[in-house]
A and B are shown apart, each in its own frame.
Chain A
Amino acid sequence: MKISFKKPKYIQMSSAAKIINKTEPNVPTGSWIKCTYCGQVIYKEDFNNNLFICHNCEKHYRMSAPDRLKLVVDKDSFDNMFTNLKTVNILDFKGYDAKIKGLQEKTALDEGVLTGTATINGIKVAIAVMDSRFLMGSMGHVVGEKITLITELATDESLPLVIFTASGGARMQEGIISLMQMAKTSAALKRHHDAGGLYVTVLTDPTSGGVTASFAMLGDIILSEPGAFIGFAGPRVIRDTIKQELPEGFQKAEFLLEHGFIDSIVPRVEMKHTLHKIFGLHHFI
């Protein structure tokens, strides 16, 4: 498993998609890292083996899409689909093409989401897993198209659909085209819904902006990882708007659970089992 640790940094994004959060553990030197949440120094290998969770405080760090898939689906069952889409620089935004190319090389991903079919304890599913390493998992045309295609496939083949969200929101560099992805994905999900399809969303850290305001919050069942940031507007924008400090735990998964917007918080180690149980209850075998 290849993991890259970045130095923690503040990420600033649009009013529709802003979060400020320390995301990755600190990497002082070599094989030791420091949890940014509780300060515990952890041996890197232990951290990796513990599913990227701090063993001291249970903080769930972000996972790449390939790592997430390994954790959730049966070994070698993932059929990676819709990989031939090209990211188009619709606004002719300077530096965007180079940025995409660089990210593709760095992450070995074609774009911010992996989509395809897989099995989870033998049950065939349509699955999408977003990756926040790719321009913060932001949704532009290709991400929207892949989500739509996998949803349409789930509808056509009567497969349950699972989407792991991880996104700063809509991709600014593609302008209004990114906004349209919100409508496009939601419309595909409505057809899946009307056909009686089961859609389970798993909200991971972070899920924000135009992704929260579209497919992320449309699951029949919405699960989340502990401590995940889930919101529409970013905390800084809210603070600037209302000129007040934000409540403790605001926009965390636990906050959403309390306010009635998610069904359950599921620790990472239990996710595969929980999904399998849900599919079984819906008579998928």
Chain B
Amino acid sequence: MKAWDRVIKARRTDRPTAYKYIESLCPDFIELHGDRQFKDDAAIIGGIGTIGGISVTIIGQEKGSKTKEKVKRNFGMSNPEGYRKSLRLMKQAEKFNRPIITIVDTTGAFCGIEAEERGQGEAIARNLFEMSNLKVPIISLIIGEGGSGGALALAVSDEVWMFENAIYSILSPEGFASILYKDGSLAPQAAEEMKITAHELKNLQIIESIIEEPFDGAHDSFDIIIGPLKYQLIDKLTELSNMDTSELLENRYNRYRKF
């Protein structure tokens, strides 16, 4: 399959969103709101629940399913308060020795005036800084679009798993094409060149695992995907939780150090 075909699938509006995974993985999920500084960012859904009996903090970037909800969720594009909410919940997880699952699906951090006023860059940087040695296991799932720094701010982890039709990139293929080819319509070509698909990123060791999407994609096969995904998560979380903390953190440091 061509990279551009993956891009189209990753962006499908009927693709399951973060919340669908959260409620399926953790049926007892309690949502927690707010950054305790300014606002509750609806582009991020975060809280606590259990998966296979393991208490976790689970945080997802939510694009929303119907039009009205998409607007409320700002199409999954966070403002600084979203990253700060995530960080608050992650630090809370560390306090209570709970592993963290993050679900990444965003075109990017929101580019607005207020976002700049409230320090969008600083919020992302702070997440990268703090996540790098949080003393609990962190697993990130890229379920759709991994839009640059806005995605990375939830993906400094022990393992990053990518859905086979998801994409993860420094910027959009359209952006890459318009700047480097001076022609935004060459986005499909850019997608090929940039190496943004799960298979290419596994080769580059950016991700550990590819989650297969049977039939036409996750929109078609959610019920087949979710069971095995849950068990893989339980397995990996157990393995990482049994690891010595200093070994866990050394591995996480090296995971990014090697690039």
Please state if A175 and B195 are interface contacts (CB–CB under 8 Å).
Answer: yes
Instruction: Kindly list chain A residues whose C-beta atoms are within 8 Å of the C-beta of B126.
Output: 217-218
Interface status of B253 (Cβ within 8 A of chain A):
yes
Q: Which chain A residue shows the least CB distance to B170?
A: A179
Please state if A182 and B169 are interface contacts (CB–CB under 8 Å).
Answer: no
Interface 1/0 per residue, B79-120 and A, CB below 8 Å: 000000000000000000000000000001111110111111
Q: Which chain B residue shows the least CB distance to A211?
A: B121
Partner of B132, one of A170, A179, A190: A190
Number of interface residues, chain A, beta carbon within 8 A: 57
Known: A172-B180, A176-B206, A246-B113. A15 touches B108 (CB 8 A): yes
Interface status of A212 (Cβ within 8 A of chain B):
yes
Q: Which of A91, A215, A217, A251 has the largest number of chain B CB atoms within 10 A?
A: A217
Stretch in B171-179, B219-227, B235-243 touching the partner:
B171-179
Please state if B195 and A187 are interface contacts (CB–CB under 8 Å).
Answer: no
Partner of A250, one of B113, B176, B195: B113
Instruction: Kindly list chain A residues whose C-beta atoms are within 8 Å of the C-beta of B152.
Output: 179, 182-183
Q: Decide if the interface of chain B is mainly helix, strand, loop or mixed.
A: helix
Instruction: Kindly list chain B residues whose C-beta atoms are within 8 Å of the C-beta of A214.
Output: 124-125, 128, 149
Interface status of A148 (Cβ within 8 A of chain B):
yes
Interface status of A147 (Cβ within 8 A of chain B):
no
Interface status of B168 (Cβ within 8 A of chain A):
yes
Please state if A242 and B124 are interface contacts (CB–CB under 8 Å).
Answer: no
Known: A13-B179, A183-B132, A218-B129. A178 touches B116 (CB 8 A): no
Known: A170-B170, A175-B170. A210 touches B128 (CB 8 A): no
Q: Which of B125, B156, B252 has the largest number of chain A CB atoms within 10 A?
A: B125
Interface status of A41 (Cβ within 8 A of chain B):
no
Extra A-B contacts (16), CB below 8 Å, given A187-B253, A231-B116, A233-B111: A91-B194, A172-B171, A172-B179, A175-B170, A175-B194, A176-B169, A179-B152, A183-B152, A186-B156, A187-B129, A216-B125, A232-B116, A232-B124, A241-B111, A260-B119, A261-B119
CA distance A176 to B146 in the complex (A): 11
Partner of A176, one of B132, B180, B196, B256: B196
Q: What's the least CB distance linking B99 to chain A, in Å?
A: 19
Q: What's the least CB distance linking A196 to chain B, in Å?
A: 15
Interface status of A189 (Cβ within 8 A of chain B):
yes
Q: What's the least CB distance linking A205 to chain B, in Å?
A: 15
In the complex, chain B residues 124-164 whose Cβ is within 8 Å of any chain A Cβ: 124-126, 128-130, 132-133, 148-149, 152-153, 156
Partner of B149, one of A12, A189, A191, A210: A210
